[in-house]
């Protein structure tokens, strides 16, 4: 029988709290945990679209003998603060907070930072310790990630003809230190600047990278940009395994969709 995760609020700076879910290794698994993972969720609405996939993957990893901690970053989900008040540095601090809690609950065991989409950009940093990376559909460039998010407002305004010059206007507002409203989210200048500057570049002690993408095409291959990114990690001494499996882009579909092959490949890769 699958056990339920431990749901709790983790104290954060300024009297705030971060919602966390801890998935302990299955009691059916004998021995020390195979590994421990901190899940770094994607940006804005992609987090909500991906919740079901993340939950199923956490359950599968726990059944395979891994410990997994999910954390809602500042201003996201049920954690303290508003999305518009969060900054990139706040999210980096939350990752450190999650790592400390994971260490407290699971001393030892190989450590993995598991990112989805823009969560990979946040995870790919030097955390002052050996870390392996599990990348799900990684975004390699934060500037492009920001542009894609800003384009959501362009698409919404296009029908009314109000989109002309809107991209430059939004960038000017952010540069002046003022937030902008996009698809129901208030994006603050600090978060926008941090995302824009982020790159999926190797940092810290070299370890393992499991790079997994999904596609509905059977003959899909990595884009040239992603191939270059993989090579950069390999050149820096990281052991990188990249693979594309069958599945929909669940983080962006209109209805909640699943990619079972991605979960199965993830468990196989880490076990």
Residue at token pair 């989805």: 116
Question: Is residue 115 within 8 Å of residue 168, measured between CB atoms?
Answer: no
SS3 for 6-23 is EEEEEECHHHCEEEEEEE
Evaluate if pTM is beyond 0.75. yes
SS3 call for 155: helix
Q: pLDDT digits over 27-43, tens only? A: 877 778 999 999 999 99
d(CA 198, CA 122): 7
pLDDT at 1 over 60: no
Q: pLDDT digits over 223-257, tens only? A: 999 999 999 999 999 999 999 999 999 999 999 99
Domains in the chain with CATH codes: 6-141+199-270 (3.40.50.1820), 142-197 (no CATH)
Which helix (H) or strand (E) is 213 found in, with range? strand 208-215
**Six-digit token string for 152:** 């959501």
């Amino acid at each position: 029988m699958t056990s339920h995760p431990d749901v709790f609020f983790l104290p954060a700076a300024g009297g705030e709290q971060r919602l966390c879910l801890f998935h302990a290794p299955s009691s059916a698994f004998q021995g020390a945990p195979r590994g421990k993972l901190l899940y770094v969720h994607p940006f804005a609405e992609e987090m909500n679209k991906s919740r079901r996939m993340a939950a199923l993957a956490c359950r599968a990893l726990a059944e395979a003998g891994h410990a997994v901690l999910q954390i809602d970053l500042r201003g996201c989900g049920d954690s303290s603060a508003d999305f518009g008040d969060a900054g990139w540095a706040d999210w980096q601090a939350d990752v450190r907070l999650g790592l400390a809690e994971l260490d407290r609950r699971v001393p030892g065991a190989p450590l993995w930072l598991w990112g989805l989409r823009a969560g990979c950009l946040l995870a790919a940093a030097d955390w002052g310790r050996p870390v392996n990376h599990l990348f799900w559909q990684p975004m390699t460039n934060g500037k492009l990630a920001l542009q894609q998010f800003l384009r959501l407002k362009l698409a919404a305004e296009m029908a009314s003809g109000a989109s002309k010059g809107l991209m430059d206007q939004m960038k000017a507002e952010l540069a002046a230190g003022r937030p902008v409203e996009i698809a129901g989210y208030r994006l603050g200048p600090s978060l926008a600047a941090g995302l824009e500057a982020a790159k999926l570049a190797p940092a810290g002690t070299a370890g393992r990278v499991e790079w997994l993408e999904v596609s509905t095409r059977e003959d899909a291959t990595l884009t040239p940009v992603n191939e270059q990114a993989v090579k950069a990690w390999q050149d820096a001494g990281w052991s990188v395994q990249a693979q594309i499996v069958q599945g929909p882009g669940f983080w962006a579909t209109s209805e909640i969709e699943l990619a079972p092959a991605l979960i199965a490949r993830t468990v196989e890769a880490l076990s």
